Amino acid sequence: MYNVMLIDDEASARKLMMDSIDWESLDMHVVGEAESGIEAINTIDDIKPDIAFVDISMPFMDGIQFSEIATQRYPDLIIIIMTAFDKFEYARKCVSMPIFEYMLKPMVRSEVTEVLKRAKARLDERGPVQWESSDTPEEQLSATEAVMKYIQENYTDSTLNLTSVAQAFGFSSSYLSRKFKSETGKGFAQYLTQVRMENAMKLAGPDVKMFNISAKVGIPDPNYFGRCFKKFTGKSYSEYAQGCAEK
């Protein structure tokens, strides 16, 4: 069973994709979605997909930018770019990236199925993306602390995620994930979001716009930021900002 991630700013498009493709018969299932490249960067380490469908036109971080990061961090990830006609030539210019396939919107089931079959064949041949690494490097006692410090220093970088930190420290991402969780009791992504949200709360105020703060704490997509904020504080940003004013 291979994991598929859908990255598209249009919910209806993701839904259509999810509903219309017979994933079962392809021995695949959709394990996650993201509304923007920013969200995808933040969640991909938890979702651990083998195949990613990426829409090109997305705000804040478009499909090309995302793919550039993703092909570096996850060289085995199969990326399928979906684009409307007017961006097709733009996408073509990015041929230097190991993109598995470019597909034209609107989506046609048979075409998608065909591409997925080929992707499956590739994965069968090569094996799934190695999200779980078996190698265990030497124990570094201060590693987790260093990572936490690194996060606190670099949380404004919107492309920061588990894999990029792991690569920066020379760990495998699975190792870092496990080690981080066991030593702090929190997931890496959870901690990163926590740092960002705590800083966001410090900046929040009735006169401060959400999209300004979101950009400052490394989540330039205010939609995704809003969801993270609500999840973290239990309040929407505007409610929270209002609360700040009343204090």
Partner 1 sequence: MRIGSLSRRLRWVFFVVVALLTIAFLVSTLLIVRREEQEAAVREAESKLIGLSGSISSSIEGYKELSKLMIMEEPLAAFLKEEDSAEAFNHIIDAKYSMQRIINVTSGVDAVYAFRTDGMYACTKRGVFVLDKESYEEELWPAAVLELRGRAIEYANGNGALRKIDNYPFISIERAFYDMNTQERTGYLMLLVSGKVIDQALATHQGSDICVVGLDGTYLSGDRSLVRVYDRSLAGSAVTHKPYFVRGQRVMISGVRVADTPIIVISCIPLEGKPLPGRTLGVLIFLMGAMTVGIFVLGRFVSVNITKPINRLSKAMNIGESAKELVPISDKMPDNEIGLLKDSYNSMVIRISNLIQELITKEQTIQRAEMRVLQEQIKPHFLYNSIGMISSLALRNGAGEVSSALETLGRFYRNFLSKGDREIPLEREVLIVKDYLSLQKLRYGEIIRDEYDVKDECLKCIVPKLILQPLVENSIYHGIRLKGEEGIIRISATIEDDNLLHLVVYDTGVGMDKETAEKLMSGKKNVSPDEESFGLWGTIERLRYYFNRDNVVKIDSEEGEFTRIEFIVPVTYVPRAEEK
Interacting residue ranges for partner 1, rule: CB under 8 A = 10-12, 59-60, 209-212, 214, 221-223, 225-226, 238
Three-state SS for 161-193 is: CHHHHHHHHCCCHHHHHHHHHHHHCCCHHHHHH
Give the nearer residue to partner 1 in terms of CB position, either 45 or 221: 221
Shortest distance, CB of residue 38 to partner 1, whole angstroms?
A: 11
Give the nearer residue to partner 1 in terms of CB position, either 102 or 211: 211
Give the nearer residue to partner 1 in terms of CB position, either 29 or 231: 231
Contacts of residue 194, defined as CB under 8 A and 6 or more positions apart, other chains included, come to 186, 232
Peptide bond into 106 cis (omega under 30): yes
Give the nearer residue to partner 1 in terms of CB position, either 59 or 128: 59
Shortest distance, CB of residue 107 to partner 1, whole angstroms?
A: 15
Contacts of residue 206, defined as CB under 8 A and 6 or more positions apart, other chains included, come to 241, 242, 244, 245
Shortest distance, CB of residue 35 to partner 1, whole angstroms?
A: 11
As a whole number of angstroms, the distance between CA 107 and CA 82 comes to: 8
